[in-house]
């Protein structure tokens, strides 16, 4: 199973451990990677070592933001007329939209253009067997 995660998911260590245990393929769009790295540098004395180590341990795939994803993000933003307020979320969600995979986030309302959007706890509950 593949999922796409938003920046705010890294605050849920229980979810990250669950994903690792379930061997779920985690995709992190480059925009979310940038946001996460920015937050890490602010909270960990500028060091990204632990963040990069965690991503490697989870086998997270960093997904580049390309021309096709930019067009998807622009189209989805035009439906909601909110590019100025939510440009990064549209860019992050474009990969989940393209691949038709679940988006995991704590800002579900920002990803209303996607069919499958879950908070981390909701996704774990749905897929715990």
- Confidence grade of residue 46 (pLDDT, cut at 50, 70, 90): confident
Query: Which letter does DSSP use for residue 64 in this model?
Result: P
Report yes or no on whether pTM surpasses 0.85.
yes
Q: Which residues pair with 5 in a beta bridge?
A: 104
Does the residue 93 lie in any domain?
yes
- Confidence grade of residue 38 (pLDDT, cut at 50, 70, 90): very high
Domains in the chain, number = 1
Does the residue 31 lie in any domain?
yes
What tokens does 117 get?
């959007």
Query: Which residue, 23, 35, 85, is CA-closest to 65?
Result: 35
- Confidence grade of residue 105 (pLDDT, cut at 50, 70, 90): very high
Residue 74's domain spans which residues?
2-120
CATH number of the domain where residue 76 is located: 3.40.50.1010
pLDDT (tens digit, 9 = 90+) per residue, 89-102?
989 999 999 999 99
Does the residue 86 lie in any domain?
yes
Does the residue 16 lie in any domain?
yes
Distance CA 21, CA 10 (A): 16
């Amino acid at each position: 199973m593949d999922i796409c995660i938003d920046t705010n998911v890294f605050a849920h260590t229980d979810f990250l451990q669950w994903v690792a245990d379930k061997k779920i393929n985690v995709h992190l769009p480059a925009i979310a990677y940038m946001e996460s790295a920015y937050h890490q540098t602010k909270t960990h004395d500028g060091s990204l070592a632990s963040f990069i180590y965690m991503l490697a341990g989870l086998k997270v795939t960093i997904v580049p933001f390309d021309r096709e994803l930019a067009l998807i993000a622009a189209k989805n933003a035009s439906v909601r007329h909110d590019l100025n307020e939510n440009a990064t979320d549209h860019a992050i969600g474009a990969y989940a939209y393209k691949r038709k995979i679940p988006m995991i986030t704590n800002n579900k309302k920002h990803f209303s253009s996607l069919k499958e959007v879950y908070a981390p706890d909701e996704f774990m509950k749905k897929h715990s067997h």
